[in-house]
Amino acid sequence: AEPLWTYSSTGDEIGGVTISSDGSAIAVAGGKIWLFSKNGTLLVKEPYGDKVIFTPDGSYLISSYSDSLYKFKRIKTSGESESPLQKMWDRSLTGTIRSFDVTDDGKTIVVALDHGGTYIYDSNGKMVGGNKNYTAIIRISSKGERIVGVSQGVLCVFRRNAICSKSDEGIV
């Protein structure tokens, strides 16, 4: 099968890709964010991204770049001079972001740093929980009831305040 469309950018290393659940938008991270329509039209390039994830409804885009975390709102535009992404906030963290995830409604974001630290942010970018434990990969359930982290063969289930309920148990 042939691709519906392609896009190339010489010298850029792709760090992540995400698609809205309805397929209307695709975001690619490679040092910046490229936002495409479903038909392949490049809508905008934003200088904030090596990892990206949409909320399932596609209304919010979360990205990271090195030690910074960003939240964008996707907006309908009336003209080409307007960006279809509105930056809601950004936060500088104490280390490089390794992994992050977001609840379906975009109200809770969890972040894991390269050299230790698991943090929880609310929809306004306020840190509402965290710890200094190392977690390589972090995920949150769709409604935010459970947060799980994995590192070095250990699975840790967190409470909403980021206290691990099984610190060295549950080997994967």
pLDDT for the residue numbered 78: 61
Looking at residue 94, its amino acid is T
Average pLDDT, stretch 44-69? Answer: 92
Looking at residue 97, its amino acid is I
Q: For residue 167, name the pLDDT band (cuts at 50, 70, 90).
A: very low
Instruction: Convert 50-89 to b/e letters by CB count within 10 Å (16 or more is b).
Output: bbbbbbbebebbbbbbeebbbbbebeeeeeeeeebbeebe
Which token pair is 120?
A: 């929880």
- Range of lowest pLDDT (58-62, 78-82, 147-151): 78-82
Average pLDDT, stretch 37-64? Answer: 91
pLDDT for the residue numbered 159: 67
Phi-psi map region of 168: left, alpha, beta (phi>0 left; psi -120 to 50 alpha): alpha
Q: Is the pLDDT assigned to residue 98 strictly greater than 50?
A: yes
Q: For residue 170, name the pLDDT band (cuts at 50, 70, 90).
A: very low
pLDDT for the residue numbered 146: 87
pLDDT for the residue numbered 81: 55
Percentage with pLDDT > 90 across the chain: 51
- Range of lowest pLDDT (3-7, 56-60, 76-80, 125-129): 76-80
